């Protein structure tokens, strides 16, 4: 079984997933794409994956057969296992627990489409609906404290298979980076009785210089302190702390603005690798012994997407300090993306 181990100095949890790679050759770098000849995600290869958890179908066929549009399946090589107890324990001065969680894949098309922005708006809406339904279902489990949905495109972004897909990992902890964001949002609200994300969005809309795109429901902007070139933040105009509260109308609007900004990214940067991460609220079910955890989330937190083009390598300085060097001002990046200007 995987394990979670806690760094005693900075409080960072690490997943030790021994089952996923045991030989030195597993870690050798390669410049080639790590795809397979027979793609297990393509329609007709349903027997090559674990049984589906959810699917949207073009016909009412039986589960795990062809005729689907979007599928959610367990990851064949999960970093966390869904069966079992967490079993928190101490090992001398160290803290650890069993690697309990859920690891799922949302397969975004029955055809071998590589970049999801080449899909139709209707198809992208189904993908977002799958995100919503899996979050709703998994957050019913009290063992799962936080769920991250992420999308990797391109080898530089960590995509193992080229077929367009997203991954969902439910964890028995709130990761350190997420916890820092949650605590900062809560402190801002305690000081000002306002949501920091709402305040940031209002200021950016007023200025306009870092705005990339807007529509009736969403804003996409280049963060003031962008860590990476052409980094983007997408957030709803209406205050909402949970992605899975999104309505069907809002999903249509979200699909539309995603297509717009990701198409511009592809056009001006030559189809770069990228990561998309969905930041949503942690599980609000009361935690034994800690009923106060995240009790003000509905007021102080605001769900959002982080969009990270993988244009540079993070080097020793960044790893050693946590301080990032960005070679393009977010105002310039926003202008390029907003106007569709080639770099």
φ/ψ of 282, rounded to 5, equals: -70, 175
Model confidence band, residue 286 (pLDDT cutoffs 50, 70, 90): confident
Torsion of CA 324, 146, 304, 125, to 10 degrees: 130
Q: Is the pLDDT of residue 28 over 60?
A: no
Model confidence pLDDT, tens digit, residues 141-159: 999 999 999 999 999 898 8
- What is the pLDDT, as a whole number, of residue 78? 93
Q: Is the pLDDT of residue 25 over 50?
A: no
Task: Please indicate, yes or no, if residue 314 is contained in any of the structural domains.
Answer: yes
- What is the pLDDT, as a whole number, of residue 30? 40
The CATH number covering residue 253 comes to 3.30.428.10
Q: Which residue has the higher pLDDT, 118 or 60?
A: 118
Model confidence pLDDT, tens digit, residues 205-230: 999 999 999 999 999 999 999 999 99
Q: Please give the tally of structural domains in the chain.
A: 1
For residue 298, what are the domain limits? Answer: 3-16+34-339
Q: Is the pLDDT of residue 160 over 90?
A: no
Task: Please indicate, yes or no, if residue 25 is contained in any of the structural domains.
Answer: no
Say what the pTM is.
0.90
pLDDT mean over 239-254: 98
Q: How many of the other CB atoms lie within 10 Å of CB of 110?
A: 22
- What is the pLDDT, as a whole number, of residue 21? 57
- What is the pLDDT, as a whole number, of residue 219? 98
Task: Please indicate, yes or no, if residue 79 is contained in any of the structural domains.
Answer: yes
- What is the pLDDT, as a whole number, of residue 174? 93
- What is the pLDDT, as a whole number, of residue 38? 86
pLDDT mean over 237-250: 98
Model confidence band, residue 24 (pLDDT cutoffs 50, 70, 90): very low
Model confidence pLDDT, tens digit, residues 70-84: 999 999 999 999 999
Dump strand ranges (E) for 114-273.
146-153, 165-171, 211-214, 218-221, 232-236
pLDDT mean over 92-98: 92
Q: Give the pair of three-digit tokens for residue 113.
A: 């489409």
Task: Please indicate, yes or no, if residue 8 is contained in any of the structural domains.
Answer: yes
Task: Please indicate, yes or no, if residue 27 is contained in any of the structural domains.
Answer: no
Q: Which residue has the higher pLDDT, 18 or 231?
A: 231
The pLDDT mean for the chain works out to 90
Task: Please indicate, yes or no, if residue 199 is contained in any of the structural domains.
Answer: yes
* Residues involved in catalysis: 165
- What is the pLDDT, as a whole number, of residue 27? 43
Task: Please indicate, yes or no, if residue 63 is contained in any of the structural domains.
Answer: yes
Burial class (CB in 10 A: 0-12, 13-18, 19+), 45: middle
Model confidence band, residue 36 (pLDDT cutoffs 50, 70, 90): low
Q: Is the pLDDT of residue 185 over 90?
A: yes
pLDDT mean over 159-164: 92
Task: Please indicate, yes or no, if residue 91 is contained in any of the structural domains.
Answer: yes
């Amino acid at each position: 079984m995987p394990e979670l181990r806690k760094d005693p100095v900075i409080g960072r949890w690490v997943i030790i997933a021994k089952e996923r790679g045991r030989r030195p050759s597993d870690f050798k770098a390669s410049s080639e794409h790590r795809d397979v000849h027979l793609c297990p995600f393509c329609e007709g290869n349903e027997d090559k994956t674990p049984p589906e958890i959810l699917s949207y179908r073009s016909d009412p066929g039986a589960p795990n057969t062809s005729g689907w549009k979007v599928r959610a399946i367990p990851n064949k090589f999960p970093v966390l296992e869904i069966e079992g107890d967490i079993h928190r324990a101490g090992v001398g001065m160290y803290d650890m627990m069993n690697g309990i969680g859920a690891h799922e894949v949302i397969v975004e098309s029955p055809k071998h489409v590589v970049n999801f922005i080449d899909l139709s708006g209707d198809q992208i809406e189904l993908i977002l609906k799958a995100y919503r339904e899996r979050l709703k279902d998994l957050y019913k489990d009290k063992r799962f404290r936080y769920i991250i949905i992420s999308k990797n495109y391109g080898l530089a972004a960590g995509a193992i298979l080229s077929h367009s897909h997203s991954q969902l990992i439910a964890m028995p902890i709130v990761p350190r980076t997420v916890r820092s964001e949650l605590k900062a949002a809560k402190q801002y609200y305690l000081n000002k009785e306002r949501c920091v994300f709402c305040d940031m969005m209002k200021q950016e809309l007023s200025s306009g210089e870092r705005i990339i795109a807007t529509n009736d429901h969403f804003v996409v902007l280049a963060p003031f302190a962008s860590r990476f070139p052409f980094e983007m933040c997408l957030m709803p105009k209406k205050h909402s702390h949970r992605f899975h509260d999104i309505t069907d109308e809002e999903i249509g609007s979200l699909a539309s603005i995603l297509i717009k900004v990701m198409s511009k990214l592809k056009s001006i940067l030559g189809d770069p690798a990228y990561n998309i991460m969905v930041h949503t609220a942690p599980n609000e079910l009361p935690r034994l012994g800690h009923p106060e955890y995240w009790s003000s989330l509905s007021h102080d937190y605001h769900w959002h997407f982080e969009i990270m083009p993988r244009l540079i390598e993070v080097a020793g300085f960044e790893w050693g300090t946590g301080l990032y060097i960005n070679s393009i001002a977010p105002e310039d990046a926003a202008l390029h993306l907003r106007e569709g200007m080639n770099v």
